[in-house]
Amino acid sequence: MKDEAELIQEAQQGDSQSFGELVRTHQDRLYNSVVHVVGCPEEAYDVVQDTFVQAMLKITSFNGQSKFYTWIYRIAFNRAMTIQRRHRPTVSVEHSRETTGWDLLDPADPPADLLIRRERVTFVRQALTELTEEHRAVMVLREVDRYDYDTIATILEISVGTVRSRLHRARSQMRLTYERLQAAETVDSQVD
């Protein structure tokens, strides 16, 4: 099996099979990242497809100064932000959960524990959707994709200080939103 550097070099020389291998290597990871940014599985699929088309057209411009995945993630992120600016997602949190399978709950847990954890997951997802694009991007890259600050700065083309600042604000805003949702749920349950 060829290493990634060989595949990139061959793809830059027009070898479509090598490019196809790069796609197979990175498509699932890229999709999982993009679906958290756009919040809609269908849109995420379209973004990933567009990303690989753009990457194929621009493969000769890849200079190896960053990792290949960072390069394609940047293309995907730009495409996702363009889509987000055109229209806000209209998919509910519940629909998103059903279509993405994001529930990571153990069905062996007692029903009360499952209910509490589902509620928390719903609140976290809702809080994430209420973030600005810049804050949501930083949160997804750090907390979901587990990138370090330098890589996030490279992908978003901002300074590490800006990454830290946006991450701090995003976490604060998510905490406030989570607490608001939790308080509203408590009031609703007391009324019922």
Domain that holds residue 75: 1-91
Residue 162: which CATH number? 1.10.10.10
Domain identity same for 12 and 69: yes
pLDDT at 93 (0 to 100): 46
pLDDT at 92 (0 to 100): 46
Domain identity same for 67 and 135: no
Region at 123 (left for phi over 0; alpha for psi -120 to 50; beta for the rest)? alpha
Q: Decide if 55 is inside a domain.
A: yes
- First-to-last alpha carbon distance for the chain, in angstroms, is 61
- Give the chain's domain count: 2
Whole-structure pTM value: 0.66
The domain boundary, picked from 63, 91, 119, lies at 91
Domain identity same for 83 and 111: no
Per-residue pLDDT of the chain (192 residues; tens, 9 = 90+): 789 999 999 999 999 999 999 999 999 999 988 888 887 889 899 999 999 999 999 999 999 888 899 899 989 988 888 877 776 544 444 444 444 444 444 555 566 665 666 777 777 778 888 888 889 889 888 888 888 999 899 888 899 999 999 999 999 998 898 888 888 877 766 665
Domain identity same for 147 and 191: yes
Q: Residue 140 to residues 11, 73, 111, 162, 171: CA-CA distances in angstroms? A: 30, 12, 29, 15, 11
DSSP letters of 115-127?
HHHHHHHHHHHHH
Long-range contacts at 24-27 (CB < 8 A, ≥ 24 apart): 26/68, 26/69, 26/72, 27/52
Q: Decide if 98 is inside a domain.
A: no
Q: Decide if 96 is inside a domain.
A: no
Domain identity same for 18 and 54: yes
Domain identity same for 71 and 109: no
